[in-house]
Amino acid sequence: MHPILGTIIQRLLLGLVTLFFVSLIIFSSVEFLPGDFTQAILGQAATEDTVAAFRAELGLDKPAYIRYFDWIGAVAQGDLGYSFSGRSASGIDRSRAVVDLVAPRLGNTLFLAGMAAIVSVPLALVLGITAALYRNSFYDRSVNAVTLTTISFPEFFLAYLLILFLASLWPVFPSLANVNSETELIDRIYKCVLPALTLTLVIVAHMMRMTRAAIINLLASPYIEMSQLKGLSKAKVIMRHALPNAWAPIATVIAFNLAYLVVGVVVVEVVFVYPGIGQLMVDAVTTRDIPVVQACALIFATTYILLNLTADIIGIVTNPRLLHPR
Amino acid sequence: MTDKPQAYSAATEVSQIRERRTWVQIAKIELKKAPYSAWFGLIVIAIYLFVAIFAPLLAPHGEAEIFPASFAPWGGDFVFGTDQIGRDIFSRLIYGARNTIGIALATTLLSFAIGGSLGLIAAISGGWLDQLLSRFVDVLMAIPGLIFALMLLTIFGSSILSLIMIIAVLDSTRVFRLTRSVSVSVVVMDYVEAAKLRGEKLGWIMRREILPNIMPPLIAEFGLRFSFVFLTIAALSFLGLGIQPPTADWGSMVRDNASMIQFAKYDLTAALTPMIPAGAIALLTVAVNFVVDWFLHITSGLNDEH
């Protein structure tokens, strides 16, 4: 078997194990709830029958490990359970399926994150690589200073700065990104400009600095110096010698920042009242709606793990030392 | 054989120890060479600390004192006006420095206590304990921090104590990784081996042999972790899930007054009101980052740090 295949399978298995433990942690959040939480959800007037029925629906009469397998099996089939909200003491159940709550919002979040990623990934790579090549120049220093400052800003500060200048003082873009399923694509893009711009500013700063560091690290290695000393042109040094080894760090940088985007999206969605999954999660945390929180956490964590796994695998597949084993 | 009076002797040279510089002297020398950005950072941090410590003396009004005029304009009795229920923004900014910085500092210290000691134990003992702790930390780090914090806050509720505990535990994973990776190379040194052989206890080896040798990266990390924790708490408070009212805090002040930005065209000062606490958060993180950059520069001797 090719050595790369073995390494990749090993990584995939490791990712699966991580996912298993993460799902275990997310599942066990129900275990830590206080014993009388059913009363808090159903109200003080809940009869014993209603409470018992609700506990049975949650499976609290079964041992924890059976409940875990029931839960993870249902999740695998796309059933994320029912929300805690909409329940009443009289036993009338108006709760909605978590999938119906999550699905449309997940689409919105992916749209916003995608929009930010399409702009920021190429921009950050170009900025980072050029800053590394023209190191310590005025250009490098100014890009560095600007990005160090934007990294230090909280996301909501950047967001409100943009709103102040681009939506309030000069009303070019709307400050509320209230899209729904009927919104036309052009209109949707127009409404998402400010949230996407906020995310872009944050991501570009991180990604550019990491790319620059990775490239500088690479250019300092002996084989690059060797290729320069034997008189190769600058373009050839970069294309033939530096780039094959640079794919792995660059892929890591991109995946890491896309994963960062997943988290950054929460605050930005709340600022712009964007109907995404981040805002859903914040609302669910406020009302302590555990099934929704679990679903959102599972989605965020899975995306995060998958992105990091992809970066790992790209790093392995493009590694010249592994591609040509002795 | 003639006796040379000026004969070289290694013993005499070694015995003439040059006077050692105290750390105050070293700090003075380094401060003279410090770049403007580091000076800026140090001065900003000093001002914030001063405000945080002497908050009750500096604030013109009480932290949660409510006046009849809500959304009062700037100037007069209220320097930056009042908020939606008539609390003086300027006083809340000053008390906010105390609460926000204090909580972030307590969290960072706790996370270093947990992550640092576990990291040291993992590096010294090695074996299955090291494997167990490292894999556990890997799993914890596979969940994005903010999402994990949100989940735990759902279960335990938002109180200051649970906020500090949750973020400290989540953040200690990164401290653990760093401490473990820097001390693994120190643990194999001969002087540690010697200490083990002469029968020193684990705690003594940690404190006296390893800790002094891994201090510089840990101090730099402390600055970075502090600004990270500070931003996380600010973000959580902004989302309404962190520090709860009536405790004054910058993140929730931004949230409470955010709608005033819409009036920028009619009254710029009103629009700036929510920007002040947000800017205060940003300024402190910028300052800490500048100082950490400078510190890394002098301790590592590197010209380039990402």
Question: Looking at the predicted structure, is the pLDDT value of residue B282 above 70?
Answer: yes
Nearest chain A residue to B151 by CA: give it. A293
pLDDT at B302 over 50: no
What average pLDDT does range A237-264 have in this prediction?
A: 80
Rounded Cα–Cα distance for residues B238 and B253 (Å): 8
Per-residue DSSP letter, B239: T
pLDDT tens for B121-133 read 888 887 888 888 8
Q: Which of A168, A210, A286 sits opposite B262 (nearest CB)?
A: A168
What confidence category does residue A133 fall into, taking pLDDT thresholds of 50, 70 and 90? confident
- Over residues A288-304, the pLDDT tens digits come to 788 888 888 888 888 88
Tokens of A278: 């981040």
- Contact residues, chain B, for A32 at CB < 8 Å: 155-156
Q: What is the pLDDT of residues B260-275, one digit of tens each?
A: 877 777 777 777 888 8
The 10 Å Cβ neighbour count of residue A238 is: 19
Kindly tell me if the per-residue pLDDT of B156 is higher than 90: no
Beta bridge partners of A82: A97
Cα nearest neighbour of B285 on chain A: A152
Residues of A in contact with B147 (CB under 8 A): 263, 266, 281, 296-297, 300-301, 304
User: What's this model's pTM, rounded to 2 decimal places?
Assistant: 0.83
Q: Which of B135, B140, B239, B254 to mutate to test the interface with A (most CBs of A within 10 A)?
A: B239
Helices (DSSP H) in chain B: which residue ranges? 10-15, 23-33, 36-53, 55-58, 89-125, 127-141, 145-156, 160-187, 190-197, 202-204, 211-238, 250-257, 268-272, 275-300
Q: In B, which residues are within 8 Å of A297 by CB distance?
A: 143, 147-148, 150-151
* Close Cβ partners of B294 (under 8 Å, ≥ 6 residues apart): B34, B35, B37, B38, B41
Q: What is the CA radius of gyration of chain A?
A: 24
B293 touches chain A (CB under 8 A): yes
Check pLDDT > 70 for residue B16.
no
Which whole number is the average pLDDT over A92-117? 82
Distance of alpha carbon B172 from alpha carbon B141, whole angstroms: 10
Residue B91 identity: S
- Tokens read off for A253: 């940088």
Query: ipTM score of the complex?
Result: 0.81
Whether B303 has a pLDDT exceeding 50, the answer reads no
Looking at residue B22, what is its pLDDT?
Answer: 76
| Nearest-neighbour CA in chain B from A28: distance (Å) | 10
Residues of chain A neighbouring B240 (CB-CB closer than 8 A)? 282, 286
Residues of chain A found within 8 Å of residue B285, distances taken between Cβ atoms: 152-154
CB B289 within 8 A of CB A148: yes
Length of chain B as a residue count: 306
Cβ of B54 under 8 Å from any chain A Cβ? Answer: no
**Which range among A29-33, A91-95, A190-194 shows the weakest confidence by mean pLDDT?**
A91-95
**B227 and chain A: CB distance < 8 Å anywhere?**
yes
Lowest mean pLDDT among A117-121, B40-44, B72-76, B183-187: B72-76
Long-range contacts of B123-128 (CB under 8 A, 24+ apart): B123/B179, B123/B180, B123/B183, B123/B184, B123/B186, B123/B187, B123/B210, B124/B183, B124/B187, B124/B202, B124/B205, B124/B206, B124/B210, B125/B202, B126/B187
Q: How confident is the model at residue A34 (pLDDT cuts 50, 70, 90)?
A: low
Whether B164 has a pLDDT exceeding 80, the answer reads: yes
Closest CB to A267: pick one of B235, B263, B271.
B235
Q: What per-residue confidence (pLDDT) applies to B45?
A: 92
Give chain A as a 3 state SS string.
CCHHHHHHHHHHHHHHHHHHHHHHHHHHHHCCCCCCHHHHHHCCCCCHHHHHHHHHHHCCCCCHHHHHHHHHHHHHCCCCCECCCCECCCCCECCCEHHHHHHHHHHHHHHHHHHHHHHHHHHHHHHHHHHHHCCCCHHHHHHHHHHHHHHHCCHHHHHHHHHHHHHHHCCCCCCCCCCCCCCCHHHHHHHCHHHHHHHHHHHHHHHHHHHHHHHHHHHCCHHHHHHHHCCCCHHHHHHHHHHHHHHHHHHHHHHHHHHHHHHHHHHHHHHCCCCCHHHHHHHHHHHCCHHHHHHHHHHHHHHHHHHHHHHHHHHHHCCHHHHCCC
Residue (of A30, A36, A32) closest to A51 by Cα position: A36
Residue in the block written with tokens 């591609």: A323
Q: How many CB pairs under 8 A join A and B?
A: 140
Question: Is residue B66 helix, strand or coil?
Answer: strand
pLDDT category of residue B112 using cuts at 50, 70 and 90:
very high
Non-local CB neighbours of B210 within 8 Å, separated by 6+ positions: B120, B123, B124, B183, B186, B187, B192
Rounded distance between C-alpha atoms, residue B253 and residue B278, angstroms = 8
Average pLDDT, chain A: 81
User: Could you write out the three-class secondary structure of B246-290?
Assistant: CCCCHHHHHHHHHHHHHHCCCCHHHHHCCHHHHHHHHHHHHHHHH
Tell me, what amino acid is at B137? Answer: V
Q: Which two tokens stand for residue B200?
A: 């020193």
For the beta carbon of residue B279, count every other beta carbon within 10 angstroms. Answer: 18
Question: If phi over 0 gives left and psi between -120 and 50 gives alpha, with beta otherwise, what is residue B267?
Answer: beta
Residue among B140, B146, B163, B158 at smallest CA distance from A266: B146
Q: Which pLDDT tens digit goes with each residue over B223-277?
A: 889 988 998 888 888 888 888 877 888 888 888 888 887 777 777 777 788 888 8
**Predicted confidence (pLDDT) at residue A4 exceeds the cutoff of 80:** no
Q: Give, in order, the Cα–Cα distances in Å from B233 to each of A274, B95, B226.
A: 22, 16, 10
- Supply the pLDDT for residue B306: 39
The pLDDT assigned to B304 comes to 43
Residues from chain B that touch A288, judged by Cβ atoms under 8 A, are 154, 157
Closest residue in B to A146 (Cα–Cα): B286
Q: Does B179 touch chain A (CB under 8 A)?
A: no
Q: How many residues does chain A have?
A: 326
User: What's the one-letter identity of residue B60?
Assistant: P
Query: How far is it, in rounded angstroms, from Cα B45 to Cα B36?
Result: 14
Q: Do residues B91 and B148 touch, judged by C-beta distance below 8 A? A: no
Q: What pLDDT shows up at residue B262?
A: 78
Assess B240–A contact: CB distance below 8 Å, yes or no.
yes
Question: Which residues of chain A make contact with B174, given a CB cutoff of 8 A?
Answer: none
Locate the chain A residue with the closest alpha carbon to B143: A301
